[in-house]
Chains A and B, each alone.
Chain A
Amino acid sequence: MTHVERPLFEGKTCPDRISSDGKRMNVRMPLIIAMILGGAVWAGLTPHGWTVDAPSGQTDSGPDQKSDFASSVFSNAIKKAQNKCVKIYGGALAREHGYATGLLVSPDGLILTAQGIYLAGDKLKIVLPDGSGHQAEIVRIQDDLLLGLLKIEAKTPNYFHIGKEIKVRQGDWVLAMGNPFKVADGTEPLSVTLGIVSMRVEMDAKRKRQDIPYNGEALILDCITSNPGAPGGALLTTDGELAGMLGKIAESKSTNTRLNYAVPSDLIRSFLDQKPDGDTETNAEPTNRGEPWIGLRLFTMSGKRAPAYIDRIVSGSPAEKAGLKKDDLILSVDTQTVRNVSEYQKLAKTLQPGQESLFTVKRKQTIVRLKLTVQKKQDVKND
C-alpha cells in the first residue's frame, strides 16, 4: 500500500520524544495513522480493494500485509517484540500460578521478569520464541520493584534495548504482551492486549502485608494485565519499543479488584545497570558498577512524606567521610531538590558508585554543601 512509504503528516514532533538512536519521532503518529486509515478503508478511500475470500491453499503465513495497513501499525510493533519475549515455567503453590513471561534484555541470555512463586522452585524453565527450552538461574532480585533477573546458557541475539529515557506518558497507547493463562505454548506467539497509560505514579501500597509490596514509580494501565502468566511481559509502545514490564498481580483483598500496572523502562534500565561486583567475565561498562552505598539512614517514623532528616550515619561510610551529621536536613543532591524521605530514597538509588555527589543540607541555621563519593554496596560486606 502506498501509504507505507510516505508519512502522512509533516513537521509535527514532540521534543521530548527522542528515540534511542537520536531520531526525533512522534509516538502518537502511528495511532493517528491507524485511526485515519481505519476510517479511510471504511470510507472506501484506499487505492486497493479488499480481497475477501483469498484463494484457497493459502499458507500459514497468513494474508499479504498490504491488505491491512491500519492494523499493521500494531502488527508490526507486535512482530518486532514477539521474538524478544519468553515463556517462564517454575514451581506453583496453591492458588499461585507457576508460570509467567520474561523479557530478553541481553544477547547472552539475561532475562528480566517479575517476582513470583515460579522463581522459588528448584527448576526454572525458559521457553524461547523458537520453542527451545532452557534451564535458568536467578542472577539477582530486586525487592522494591519486584524484579527478577535470570540467566540462561544460550545466545539470544534478539533482545530489548532499554534506554534511560521515559518512553510513555499519560494517555499514550500501549500494547501489553504476555502469556496470560498459558494460552500460548511452545512456539506459539504470546497474547497482546491494547490499552493506554492512565498515569505514572509513585506506588506506595505497602501498608499491610497482604497488599502490594511494590515500592517505586509505576505505570498504571487502562488495560487488563493482572492475569496469571502475564507478569514479566512486555509493555510496548506502538513502535514496538519497550516502555515497561508488566508487574506482578496486584489484588486488593478488601475489594477483590486488581490493579494493572507496569514497571517503567527507565527504572528497569537503572536496575540492569546496578550490576553486582564479582562479575569479572564481562568487561564492566563505566555505569555498571553495582548498587550504590551512601551509609546514612533517614528519620522515617513520621512517614515517607516527612522532611529528610538524617537519623543515623554508618561509621566508615561515604556519608561519614563526607562530613554528614545526624539531624542534618537534606535539601538537595546534585541539582535535584529533596522534599521528603521518599524523594531522597528514590534519588539515592540512582546514584552511581564512584560518582561524586554534592549534598546540600541544612544544619541548624546554616546551609552546608558537602561532597560525597558514592561507594559500591559490596565493599561493605567484604570488609
Chain B
Amino acid sequence: MQHSRLKLNSTAPDLHCSAGVSNSKQQTANSGYLCIFGFGITLAVTLSTFVASTLNLSANEISPEEMIQVKAAEAARIKAIEKVYGSVVAIYPKSRQGGGSGVIYDEEGFALTNNHVVRPVGEEGLGGIADGKLYKLTLIGTDPGGDVALVRLHSKKAGKNKGLFPNSRLGNSNQVRVGQWCMAMGNPFTLAQDQRPTVTLGIVSGIKRYQKGQGNIGVYGNCIQLDTSINPGNSGGPLFNLQGEVIGINGRGSFEERGRVNVGLGYAISMEQVKNFLPDLRAAKICMHGTLDAVFGDRNGQVVCEEINLDSTIAKRGMALGDRLVAFDGHQIYSANQYASLVSTLPAKWPVQVVYEHEGQQKSLWMRLRPLPYGTGAAPPKPRRGGRPSPKIKGKPGEIRDAKLNRAECGRIFRRWTRFMAGSDGLSDPKVFRCKEEVLGSDRKKMASRETWQATDGRFRVKIEQAEAGPKAGTQWGWDGSVYWRSEPGVEPIAKKDLEAFSNTDVARNASIAAFLGLRPLKDAFKEVVLEGGDKSQNVRADRVRVVDAQGNRMLFWFSLFDENGNFQSRLLKVAGEKDGQEAGPMWTYADYRKVAGVQVAHSRRLVKGLNEHTQMEIRVTSCEALESISEALFKLEKAE
C-alpha cells in the first residue's frame, strides 16, 4: 500500500505507516515465539503427566469395569501417539545451536514448521525424527506473515521403508472445539538427545484468537489457544487431536511476566490457515498475505472502513471511507477484530467476496486480495550480541525462490492427477469414451443434446444431435491428433493443421489434459510449467498451474489439494487460457467425476465467468461408455458424400 491512503481524522498522509498498512488495529497482549535460537540454555524440566493424575483416583469410586475402560482409553491414546510419533521432527541449524520442531505430512519428507524456526536455520539444516537419526533438511517455501514454513527431509538411501518418511495426516481445524483434548509434540528446550519428541496433553482453551505480530510479520489470526504445555523448542511442532491429526502448528505462548516458560497459554496456527498457504509454500515461494488495502474499526456496533488506499482495487470498485463491511469471504462480519483475524489467514491474490454498505446501499463484489507488504520486517533478524548472523534465504516476498523446486512440485501434482484419473500406474493405452451429453444454458434450460467421442490422448469428435440454440443439429467437429475440423450442414467444412489447430481452445485443452495423463511426455508437451500458488475454484482450495505448451498456448489449470475426506488428491477443477498473468478466454470447470472403465470422467463441465465462477453453460454427461476398440477414422473429417 502506498502513500495515498487517508485517515478519517486527518487528510494528511500518515508517513509512519508508509512501509505498509496492516490489516489490523487490534490491541491485545502480545505473545512470544517459541523457538530457542540464541539461547544456549538447556533447562532440566520435570514433566508431570496427566496420565499420572488421571489414575490418582481413589479406588472406592471407580469400579473395576470402569478402570478397565479408563485403561483401554489410555491404551488407545498411547496407540494414537505411537501412530504419529515418528512424524515429529526436531529441527536444528547446521551449527546445532538451538532448534525448533516440525511435522512431516508427506511420505516424501515434506514437513511443516514455523517461519521463525527456519529463519535462523536458513536453506539447509538438520531434522531429527524418532528413529534417532538426523536427516538433511532443505527449505522449500516460507510464509513470514503467518509464521509457517515448508521444509523437506532427505533420506540418503532407500532403507527398509524405501526412503519414505512416517507422516501425519492434516486435520480440519474448523472442527476444533473449545474444551477438546489436544496433544502437542516437539522438542521443548531441545531436550531430546535421541530426537524422540516430547508429548504433552491438554485442552483447547480458545479458538479464533488473534495475536498480533511485529508489523505484518508473524501475525496469528484465527489461531488456536491451548493449555497444553508448550515451551521454547516446541515452535513449529504439531498440535494433534486425539485421532492423531494435525490441527495446528504450535508457535507462540504468552510470555509476559515470568520468562520464556509455559504459563498455560499457548497458540497454534490453525491448520485451515496452513492449508490456504500450502500451494504457495509448495511452489517454493516467500508467501505474502492478502489485504483489501483498507482498515476497519468498530463504531456503534458496526464495522466501518476507517482507512483506505485510494489506488486499491476495492476503492476503485466503489468502497469509500465510512462504508460498513457486511460480509467477507463468506463470513458475516460483526467485529473489526474478527475481520482482521480472517483476512490474516488468506494469501495474496486469494479470490474473496466482499459485501459492504455504501450510502445505505448494500453492494457485493468479487476481487483478488492484494499483497500486504512486509516492509523491512522480512529481513532476517539481527544477530544477538556475540551471536552469528542468520543465514541468508534467497528470494523476495511474493516470488518463487527456486524454479527447480517449483517444477518438481508440478511433476508431483501431475503424478497425483494421473493417479486420481487412472490409478497409480496411469494409462498404458489410450481409451475412447462415447458419451451422450446435454447442453444446459445459464437458465438451466436444455439447449442441445450431443454425442461425443473422447480419447484419453486428446483426440475427440462432437456431433450435435438436436439443438434449440447454438450450432445446428448435424454439426460436427473434432481433432484427430493433427487436424482440427468442423463440418456444418450446408457449409463448407473447415480443416486446420497442427499449430493452427492448437489455436482452438478445445484442442489445446484436450491435448494438455492428455499430457497430464502421461500419454504424452510432459517435456514434449510443455515448454513451461509453473505452480503459481494457491487459488480457489468450485469453492475449494486449488493449486494454480500455468502451462505454456509446445505450440505456445498459455493456459491455466486448477487442481484440488484434497478430496472430500481430507486426503491429498489432485483432480482437475478448472481450465482457462492465460494472458498477462490473468485468466483469459473461455473458462471451464470440471466436476462430478465418475469412474468409467477404470478412468475418471468428469460428468459435468461448466463454462464459467468471473471470480465467482458464474455458470454460462453446462455440459452434462447423461451416459458414458468405453469403446472396445478405436478406429482411426472416428476422429477424422468424414469425406463429403
Q: Which residues of A contact B (CB under 8 A)?
A: 9, 12, 14, 26, 28, 31-32, 34-43, 50-60, 62-63, 67-68, 70-75, 77-78, 95, 171, 175, 180-194, 196, 222-225, 227-228, 256, 258
**Apart from A12-B63, A59-B331, A224-B264, what 20 extra A-B contacts exist at CB < 8 Å?**
A14-B61, A26-B61, A39-B75, A42-B242, A51-B175, A52-B245, A53-B562, A54-B172, A56-B539, A56-B540, A57-B539, A60-B332, A68-B180, A71-B203, A181-B31, A183-B225, A196-B56, A227-B257, A227-B265, A228-B256
Please give, as numbers and ranges, the residues of chain A lying within 8 Å of B580 by CB-CB distance.
none
* Alpha-carbon distance between A185 and B298 when the two chains are bound, in angstroms: 12
Q: How far is the CB of B501 from chain A (nearest CB, A)?
A: 38
Q: How far is the CB of A78 from chain B (nearest CB, A)?
A: 5
CB pair B77 A39 closer than 8 Å = yes
**B258 CB within 8 Å of chain A:** yes
Q: How far is the CB of A269 from chain B (nearest CB, A)?
A: 25
Other-chain contact of B76, A38, A54, A192 (Cβ < 8 Å): A38
Show 9 A/B contacts (Cβ-Cβ < 8 Å), sorted by A: A35-B69, A38-B76, A39-B77, A62-B207, A70-B180, A72-B179, A183-B254, A185-B28, A186-B298
Other-chain contact of B69, A32, A51, A60 (Cβ < 8 Å): A32
**B494 CB within 8 Å of chain A:** no
**B492 CB within 8 Å of chain A:** no
**B208 CB within 8 Å of chain A:** yes
* Alpha-carbon distance between A51 and B565 when the two chains are bound, in angstroms: 7
Other-chain contact of B264, A74, A225, A256 (Cβ < 8 Å): A225
CB pair A191 B206 closer than 8 Å = yes
Chain B positions 49-84 with a Cβ under 8 Å from a chain A Cβ: 53-54, 56-58, 61-63, 65-66, 69-70, 72-77, 79-80
Please give, as numbers and ranges, the residues of chain B lying within 8 Å of A74 by CB-CB distance.
179-180, 203
Q: Which residue among B29, B179, B209, B334 has the maximum number of chain A CB atoms within 10 Å of its CB?
A: B179
Q: How far is the CB of B57 from chain A (nearest CB, A)?
A: 6
Q: Which residues of B contact A (CB under 8 A)?
A: 26, 28-29, 31, 48, 53-54, 56-58, 61-63, 65-66, 69-70, 72-77, 79-80, 169, 171-172, 174-175, 177-181, 202-203, 205-209, 225, 227, 242-245, 254, 256-258, 262-265, 298, 330-332, 334-335, 337, 539-540, 562-566
Please give me the residue from chain A that is nearest to B182 by CB atom.
A71
Please give, as numbers and ranges, the residues of chain A lying within 8 Å of B562 by CB-CB distance.
53
* Alpha-carbon distance between A182 and B540 when the two chains are bound, in angstroms: 35
CB pair B243 A41 closer than 8 Å = yes
Given that A28-B62, A62-B175, A223-B264 are contacting pairs, would A181 and B202 also be in contact in the complex, using a CB cutoff of 8 Å?
no
* Alpha-carbon distance between A182 and B174 when the two chains are bound, in angstroms: 23
Please give me the residue from chain A that is nearest to B332 by CB atom.
A60
Q: Which residue among B62, B69, B262 has the maximum number of chain A CB atoms within 10 Å of its CB?
A: B69
Q: How far is the CB of A240 from chain B (nearest CB, A)?
A: 10
CB pair A71 B264 closer than 8 Å = no
Q: Which residue among A12, A68, A189 has the maximum number of chain B CB atoms within 10 Å of its CB?
A: A68
Other-chain contact of A75, B65, B179, B335 (Cβ < 8 Å): B179
Please give, as numbers and ranges, the residues of chain A lying within 8 Å of B331 by CB-CB distance.
59-60
Other-chain contact of A193, B48, B57, B77, B203 (Cβ < 8 Å): B203
Given that A32-B70, A70-B242 are contacting pairs, would A181 and B29 also be in contact in the complex, using a CB cutoff of 8 Å?
yes
Please give, as numbers and ranges, the residues of chain A lying within 8 Å of B62 by CB-CB distance.
28, 32
Q: How far is the CB of B497 from chain A (nearest CB, A)?
A: 44
CB pair A180 B264 closer than 8 Å = yes
CB pair B57 A39 closer than 8 Å = no
Q: How far is the CB of B474 from chain A (nearest CB, A)?
A: 42
Please give me the residue from chain B that is nearest to A14 by CB atom.
B61
Q: How far is the CB of B58 from chain A (nearest CB, A)?
A: 7
Q: How far is the CB of B154 from chain A (nearest CB, A)?
A: 29
Given that A36-B69, A52-B565 are contacting pairs, would A67 and B175 also be in contact in the complex, using a CB cutoff of 8 Å?
yes
Please give me the residue from chain A that is nearest to B30 by CB atom.
A181
Other-chain contact of B209, A9, A183, A187 (Cβ < 8 Å): A183
Nearest 10 A-B pairs (CB), nearest first?
Answer: A39-B73, A71-B180, A224-B264, A74-B179, A39-B76, A52-B566, A193-B227, A53-B566, A63-B175, A35-B73
* Alpha-carbon distance between A183 and B258 when the two chains are bound, in angstroms: 17
Please give me the residue from chain B that is nearest to A28 by CB atom.
B61
Please give, as numbers and ranges, the residues of chain B lying within 8 Å of A95 by CB-CB distance.
257
Please give, as numbers and ranges, the residues of chain A lying within 8 Å of B206 by CB-CB distance.
183-184, 188-192
Q: How far is the CB of A347 from chain B (nearest CB, A)?
A: 28
Please give, as numbers and ranges, the residues of chain B lying within 8 Å of A26 by CB-CB distance.
61
* Alpha-carbon distance between A71 and B182 when the two chains are bound, in angstroms: 10
CB pair B179 A181 closer than 8 Å = no
